[in-house]
């Protein structure tokens, strides 16, 4: 395998059998130059992603601390021990992105409460345990203590990736997600590109959100109302858009958006618009 592009000492873009792939390994690119061969002994992980997924991964690595990918790799290796088959590789994109953003949010004192934390701890104790260990690894590696809510979010990524969705649920999740995306599209008169990283982030959140709606879960309100008020004052047009989404969900799914869900939607729509 030859190096096409060095992303940092531990991550390179390479070529294998005529296809580009992302390769990781401790010190894999140390002292190397583009075009040189990779020492096979240093390879820890080869990402053979689709073209679209590879572009998302490269975009992500250009935006974040690349060491987060190496740590995420260790977390997923631990999660893989829970199942008969390894998690699908797109989880590396979604979970790396989430952990990097969670670290940044925590440094800015913007911690988000996980309304599903109790249910995750109760129903998915093994995945939650991986999430708790992930927080310990993040603390050790980056000296940032994430709240336990983030262990729940990490577990959600693992659960979501490992789940074989019922076909009817997949249909309804897609239908709900498309309905919300259409509302955002027409409210702000913007077009989405499927290759945009923020669009991918938004879709991931909408999948979690849709599952809550389909399961008709009743969640206790845990987010501070003052946080929602502050976000609504900062993003009044997004707040108007969410009111439209609320009407859509009430009419079609008898679901009223909770305080927690409003906070998440505001944050994710703001990122898409950005």
Give the tens place of pLDDT for each residue, 54-104. 888 888 888 889 899 999 999 999 999 999 889 988 889 999 999 999 999
Domain boundaries, the chain: 1-48, 51-164, 167-273
Could you say which of 3.30.460.80, 3.40.109.10, 3.40.50.150, 2.30.24.10 is the CATH number of the domain covering 1-48?
2.30.24.10
Q: Give me the torsion for CA of 190, 194, 199, 204, rounded to 10°.
A: 140
Answer whether 1-48 and 167-273 agree in fold. Answer: no
Task: Give me the architecture of the 51-164 domain, per CATH.
Answer: Orthogonal Bundle (1.10)
Q: pLDDT tens digit string along 107-131?
A: 999 888 887 787 788 778 899 999 9
User: For 124-182, how does the pLDDT look when each residue is reduced to its tens digit (9 = 90+)?
Assistant: 889 999 999 999 999 999 999 999 999 999 998 888 788 655 545 666 877 888 899 99
Q: Is 223 helix (H, G, I), strand (E, B) or coil?
A: coil
For domain 167-273, is the CATH number 3.40.50.12780? no
Closest CA to 60 of 91, 26, 17, 18: 91
In whole angstroms, what is the distance from residue 132 CA to residue 155 CA?
A: 9
Work out the number of other CB atoms within 10 angstroms of the CB of residue 17: 7
- Which one, of 222, 96, 74, lies nearest residue 154 by Cα? 96
């Amino acid at each position: 395998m030859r190096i096409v592009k060095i992303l940092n000492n531990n991550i390179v873009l390479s070529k294998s059998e005529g296809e580009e792939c992302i390769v990781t390994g401790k010190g894999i690119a140390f002292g190397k130059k583009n075009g040189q061969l990779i020492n096979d002994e240093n390879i820890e992980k080869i990402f053979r992603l689709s073209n679209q997924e590879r572009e998302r991964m490269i975009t992500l690595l250009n935006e974040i601390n690349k060491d987060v990918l190496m740590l995420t790799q260790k977390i997923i290796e631990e999660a893989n021990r829970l199942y008969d088959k390894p998690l699908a590789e797109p989880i590396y994109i979604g979970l790396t992105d989430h952990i990097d953003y969670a670290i940044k949010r925590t440094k800015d004192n913007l911690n988000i409460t996980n309304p599903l934390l109790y249910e995750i701890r109760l129903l998915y104790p093994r995945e939650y345990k991986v999430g708790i260990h992930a927080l310990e690894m993040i603390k050790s590696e980056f000296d940032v203590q994430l709240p336990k809510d983030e262990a729940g979010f990490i577990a959600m990524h693992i659960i979501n990736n490992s789940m074989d969705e019922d076909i009817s649920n997949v249909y309804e999740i897609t239908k709900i997600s498309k309905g919300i995306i259409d509302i955002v599209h027409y409210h702000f008169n913007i077009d989405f590109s499927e290759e945009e990283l923020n669009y991918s982030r938004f879709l991931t959140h909408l999948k979690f959100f849709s599952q809550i709606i389909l399961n008709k879960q009743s969640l206790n309100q845990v987010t501070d109302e003052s946080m929602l008020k502050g976000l609504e004052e900062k993003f009044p047009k997004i707040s108007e858009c969410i009111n439209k989404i609320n009407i859509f969900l009430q009419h079609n799914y008898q679901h009223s958006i909770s305080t927690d869900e409003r906070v998440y939607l505001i944050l994710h729509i703001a990122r898409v618009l950005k």
